[in-house]
Amino acid sequence: MKALCWNGTRKLNVERVSDPSILNPKDAIIRVALSSVCGSDLHLVNGFIPTMKAGDIIGHEFNGEVVEVGSEVKKLKKGDRVVVGSVIGCGECYHCTHDEWSLCDNSNPNAVYQEKLFGYPTAAIYGYSHLFGGYAGSHAEYIRVAYADNGCFKIPDGISWEQSLFASDALPTGYMAADMAVKPGDIVAVWGAGGVGLMAMKSAWLKGAARVIAIDRFDYRLAYAKQECKAEIINYSEVNVLEELKELTGGRGPDVCIDAVGMEARSSNKLEYAYDKVKQNLRLQPDRAAVLRQAVMACRKGGTVSVVGVYSSLVDSFPMGILMNKALTIKSGQMHAQKYIPHLLDLLQKGELDPEFLLTHKWPLDAGAEGYKMFNDKADGCMRVAFNPSVMA
């Protein structure tokens, strides 16, 4: 089959590799309908996540059709149209049975390495480095899905591939960002108007937010925030974000600050940005924390900072003193796909949510490398580009 492989920093190639096969009794093979890029992939493509190996197939936000099931798969059959959560959960361990799927005890075959770095290993993620299990990703004609009964969700009748695609990753991540933190009546500020940030804005309303404020620097993204997500907008390259947020909130600050940017944040402060970027490039610090610092500063006293933007290890100059003295709460995590997807598909079917506007580009897999370049450069009005490795009805 054809697959998009990572062959080094900013080096992606479409390759012909063998088809996946069932390796464990709970596996299923999915013929991929749509497979999207995600901000998390940029961290891999740009070389900030360790333990990638040349030849790894990337991609983790996808849907498709079941073509084969293992002997212990009970709920799925050939021909089912499914959307698959990007995070792999066994469904049986303490964390999965407590709906903390991204903390699964069992799914990561490389737990031993991750345990050394994190203290305790977390769940595996498709196409997301060997530290996170080394599972082959979805930018391919076929993918093997582990613990398929738990990871695959049938797409309700009448819901298209395009509509259901982002229920795999961007939507549950944004939803979790709000679900972890937002109480009715809260003012919610969201850093990053990418797929994840925009979904967090929509979800904040669902959780009863009184107001939603979006922060980014790309006008076209802020336009989606305003039109699709009914958010007030701040362009951080034009104004002082902290002053603006204070102004907009009667001098109190947002009750909830959501970081939907992560470790490759830019800073509007040129010195801070240069400092972070140089240190990151020299590998003196893996992660740039401009958004995290700003969110802690901006947050209302006693408020909550909700972090779904990805960090890989250490950040520099984290304002612990501010966090502590202002009595802030931090909520965070890779998203618990399996906890949220059924509810989100339900909302999709009822028409209460429609993430399809994120799909600004649908391209053949052969254009994988160009797709990532466009997405990375935020060119051509790109929110997300999805590849369609096997054209399906």
Partner 1 sequence: MNENSSVGQKPAVNVSNTERILSAVAAGYLLYSAATGNKARLVKAGSGAFLLYRALSGNCPLYSALGKARKPDPVKNINVRAVVTVNKPKDEVYTFWRNLENIPLFMKHIKSVTTMDDGRSHWEANIPGMSSLLSWDAEIVKEEEGTLLGWNSLPGSVIDNAGKVTFADAGENGTEVSIVITYRAPFGPAGESIARLLNPIFKNMVKEDLRNFRRYFETGEIPTIKGQPSGREETATIL
Ligand X SMILES: NC(=O)c1ccc[n+]([C@@H]2O[C@H](COP(=O)([O-])OP(=O)(O)OC[C@H]3O[C@@H](n4cnc5c(N)ncnc54)[C@H](O)[C@@H]3O)[C@@H](O)[C@H]2O)c1
**Interface residues for partner 1 in 341-360 (CB under 8 A)?**
none
- When asked if residue 385 is in the footprint of Zn ion (CB under 5 A), the reply is no
- When asked if residue 287 is in the footprint of ligand X (CB under 6 A), the reply is no
Which of left, alpha, beta for 262 (phi over 0: left; psi -120 to 50: alpha)?
left
Select 68 or 169, whichever has its Cβ closest to Zn ion: 169
**Interface residues for ligand X in 101-160 (CB under 6 A)?**
none
Mark out the alpha helices in the chain (DSSP H runs). Answer: 39-45, 94-97, 111-118, 148-151, 161-164, 170-179, 195-206, 219-227, 241-248, 270-281, 290-298, 320-325, 337-349, 368-377
Q: How many CB atoms lie within 10 A of CB 379?
A: 9
- When asked if residue 104 is in the footprint of Zn ion (CB under 5 A), the reply is yes
Q: Chain centroid to CA 200: how far?
A: 11
- When asked if residue 72 is in the footprint of partner 1 (CB under 8 A), the reply is yes
Select 19 or 352, whichever has its Cβ closest to partner 1: 19
In terms of Cβ atoms closer than 10 Å to its own Cβ (0-12, 13-18, 19+), residue 243 is exposed
Q: Which of 25, 208, 342, 364 binds partner 1 (CB under 8 A)?
A: 25
CA distance 349 to 158: 8
- When asked if residue 246 is in the footprint of ligand X (CB under 6 A), the reply is no
- The answer to whether the beta carbons of residues 100 and 108 sit under 8 Å apart is no
Backbone phi and psi for residue 178, each to the nearest 5 degrees, phi listed first: -80, -45
Q: From Zn ion, ligand X, partner 1, none, which one binds at residue 371 (CB under 5 to 8 Å depending on kind)?
A: none
CA distance 170 to 387: 16
Q: From partner 1, ligand X, Zn ion, none, which one binds at residue 5 (CB under 5 to 8 Å depending on kind)?
A: partner 1
Select 187 or 199, whichever has its Cβ closest to Zn ion: 199
**Interface segment toward ligand X; rule CB under 6 A; list 46-54, 63-71, 148-156, 188-196:** 188-196
CA distance 228 to 275: 35
- When asked if residue 127 is in the footprint of partner 1 (CB under 8 A), the reply is no
Q: Chain centroid to CA 391: how far?
A: 25
- When asked if residue 59 is in the footprint of ligand X (CB under 6 A), the reply is no
Q: From ligand X, partner 1, Zn ion, none, which one binds at residue 21 (CB under 5 to 8 Å depending on kind)?
A: partner 1
Chain positions contacting partner 1, by CB under 8 A = 1-3, 5, 7, 13-21, 23-26, 53-57, 72, 90-94, 97, 105-109, 111-112, 124, 133-136, 140, 144, 146-147, 366
Residue ranges binding ligand X (CB under 6 A): 38-40, 42-43, 169-170, 173, 191-197, 215-218, 221, 236, 260-262, 265-267, 290-291, 308-310, 334-335
